Structure 1
Amino acid sequence: MSLEIRLDTIRQQLAQADIELHISKKRVKNINFRLKPHVLMVSVPLHISDSQAADAVARRVSWAINHHPQVLEQHQRKQGAPSDLTTADQPIYLWGKVQALTLSHGEKVAYYRQQLSDVMPSLFEKWQPIVGTYANEIRVKKMHTRWGSCNTRAKRIWLSVYLPAYPIECTEYVIVHELCHLHHANHSPAFWQTVASAMPDYRQWHNILAGKTGQLD
């Protein structure tokens, strides 16, 4: 098995657990691993060959997958839910516009869930032919640290219940982003080129969400 194929296999294994692999060569003495939410960062000494680095990462795949849920839980406890969406006295936004509503946090989540569930079928119907990939399953989830996620093997896409607070184009961008992961399981230049080809103005909507708590995978 070639080194490129081996690394691709490792990346795919990690991607099934929503973990992206970042490997960088640095002036360090040993190979260092740092597991963060949705990212396994590996620092490799300059004198270590790519093959040796791949061997070391392969031995850490199970560890990363098994410990990732704990890392996410700790991160969520520190970050909490997006503050501008969960504070009771904040105005209610729907698709970026203020609504004349007064809702508790639980009612707000239910409201957003219903609004998102209502538009998802038509949005996926719109964007799947453009991206050229099709999800087997789409779901809404109360995610505190992410706007969307994709299980590439099952072709299952999750969207954050908080997305309806922002312009609907933001939700469309997240859908495009996750659909593009069915072409590329990472955030490589080829991935972003695919996103840009499908949605040329994606940066505008990406930047709106980038300033908030959630992230994309």
Structure 2
Amino acid sequence: MPLTPDQSRPRRGGRGEFSRRWIDVDGQRALLIRKRVKNVYLRVKPPEGRIEVTAPARLPEAEIRRFVSSRMAWVEGARERIARSRRALGGGSGAVASRAEGSERERPAARGEHDEQERLRQARGILSGQLPGLLDRWVPVVGRGPTSITLRRMTTRWGSCTPASGRIRLNLELAWLEPRFLEYVLVHELTHLRASGHGARFQGLMDSYLPGWREVRRELNRYVIV
């Protein structure tokens, strides 16, 4: 979708989207997307580390700028994690060129598919590097360990657990967030190996493991699974 300036009356687009435009926040360019949402959501998009913020249609831009500015340290940390992953995986631009009938023009569909696969590969590398240390720390505390951990693309949740089999699944998108969110989701799922559901026993165990887990959960839920 082409970038469009803000209008006094937001223009509607697909998936509840009204408009897109670039804004400047502390000298950094960020893509502001106005949508039919209730909260402000922040993303750092690989491979180049672009800032993308989704906000309600009529939320004042000054409030959006303050929100993004307050999280610039996290943005820089996310960009550094992306850069480290790219270096570890050999870098590359992520573009796929196709030469046919003398043409060197890139094929957008093929390039987009390749970029997404590269992004998921980077995410898998980041999480695979973080999980061993977290498991070493938390399995002895919780007293239960998973039989397997699957890293996959998930669209509705950050993690899931099957207590009967001991299997845990984690969302690859956690790679692009602060490490404390991965820690919270992992501890959350490990706790399900001891307490199914989210009742009093589960909450009591979480309180003993991560006293501030509710605040971390609240912050995590401000991010969109894309």
TM-score (structure 2 length as normaliser): 0.52
Change (3 A) 1:168 1:88: closer
Q: Is the 8 A contact 2:192 2:202 kept in 1?
A: yes
Change (3 A) 1:125 1:192: same
Amino acid at match of 1:91: R
Q: Is the 8 A contact 2:195 2:202 kept in 1?
A: yes
Q: Does 1:199 align with 2:210?
A: yes
- Range with bigger deviation, 120-129 or 86-95: 86-95
Change (3 A) 1:135 1:86: same
Change (3 A) 1:209 1:95: farther
Of 82, 99, 117, which residue of structure 2 is paired with 1:106? Answer: 117
Q: Does 1:148 align with 2:159?
A: yes
1:89 positional shift: 7.1
| Greater radius of gyration (CA) | 2
User: Identity over aligned residues, as a percent?
Assistant: 29
Counterparts of 2:79 and 2:217, CA distance in 1: 21
Counterparts of 2:140 and 2:126, CA distance in 1: 23
Higher helix share: 1
Change (3 A) 1:198 1:95: farther
- In structure 2, the partner of 1:118 is 129
Task: Give deviations 1:94-140, integer Å, cap 9, x for gaps.
Answer: 89532475653322211011110122122111111111211111121
Change (3 A) 1:145 1:86: farther
Counterparts of 2:202 and 2:133, CA distance in 1: 24
Question: Bigger relative contact order, structure 1 or 2, given CA contacts below 8 A and separation 6+?
Answer: 1
Counterparts of 2:165 and 2:76, CA distance in 1: 29
RMSD of aligned C-alpha atoms? 2.8
- In structure 1, the partner of 2:175 is 164
1:200 positional shift: 1.2
Q: What does 1:9-158 align with in structure 2 at a 5 Å threshold? A: 84=43, 91=50, 96-99=77-80, 104-158=115-169
Q: Is the 8 A contact 1:85 1:162 kept in 2?
A: no
Stretches of 4+ moved more than 3 A in 1? 82-90, 92-96, 99-103
TM-score (structure 1 length as normaliser): 0.54
Amino acid at match of 1:198: Y
Counterparts of 2:214 and 2:200, CA distance in 1: 15
Amino acid at match of 2:78: K
1:90 positional shift: 5.6
1:88 positional shift: 7.3
- In structure 2, the partner of 1:188 is 199
Q: Determine helix, strand or coil for the equivalent of 2:161.
A: strand
- Note the residue ranges of structure 2 that are not aligned, 5 or more in a row: 1-40, 52-73, 84-92, 95-114
Q: Determine helix, strand or coil for the equivalent of 1:158.
A: strand
- Note the residue ranges of structure 1 that are not aligned, 5 or more in a row: 1-81
Amino acid at match of 1:98: R
1:212 positional shift: 2.4
